[in-house]
Amino acid sequence: MSPHHSIDYCPICGGGLCGIRICGLSSLPQAAARRGDSIHGLIVCDECEAIWLEPNISSDHAYPDPTNSICPICSQPLWGDNSRWANREDIAALGWSAAVNQELDVNSDEGIA
C-alpha cells in the first residue's frame, strides 16, 4: 500500500514517497508509559524505509532492521496493527497538516485522488 499523504519524494532513494505514518494506535501500556503519550507520527519512505521523526526530511533519519522493522519511538512493529499510513484526520491530530504535499496524495480517503 502506498502512503495516503506524503511530504516529499525520498531524498535518499529518489523514487519512494516520504509518507506520514501514525503509530501507537493500539493500547500498549508499556510503550505508552515509556513515551508518556499514545500516538506519534513518523515520516517513512515507502521504498527504502528511511524514517524521520519529524516532518522535515532534512533532519536526521534512520533505517529500521530490514527483517524486523520497529518504530524507533515505541519499539513496536513498524508495519503492525498499532501503526498505519495516516489519513487527513490523523495528520491533523499530529499537527502535521501543513507539511503535506497534496500533489503526492495517493488514496481517496477524503475524496481526493
Q: Verify binding: residue 2, another protein, rule CB under 8 A.
A: yes
Among 24-32, 34-42, 62-70, 89-97, the segment contacting another protein (CB under 8 A): 62-70
Q: What is the grid cell recorded at 14? A: 529518489
Of 20, 34, 43, the C-alpha closest to 91 is: 20
Select the residue interacting with another protein from 35, 38, 39, 47 (CB under 8 A).
47
Grid cell in block for residue 91: 495528520
Q: Which of 17, 20, 28, 71 binds another protein (CB under 8 A)?
A: 17
- Euclidean distance between CA atoms 54 and 52, whole angstroms: 6
112 in contact with another protein (CB under 8 A)? no
Amino acid letter at 33? A
Q: Does 92 bind another protein (CB under 8 A)?
A: no
Residues near another protein (CB under 8 A), total: 26
Residue 69's closest CA among 83, 57, 55? 83
State in angstroms the smallest separation of the CB of 12 from another protein: 6
**Other beta carbons less than 10 A from residue 90's beta carbon:** 20
Interacting residue ranges for another protein, rule: CB under 8 A: 1-2, 12-17, 46-50, 62-63, 66-69, 79, 103-104, 106-108, 113
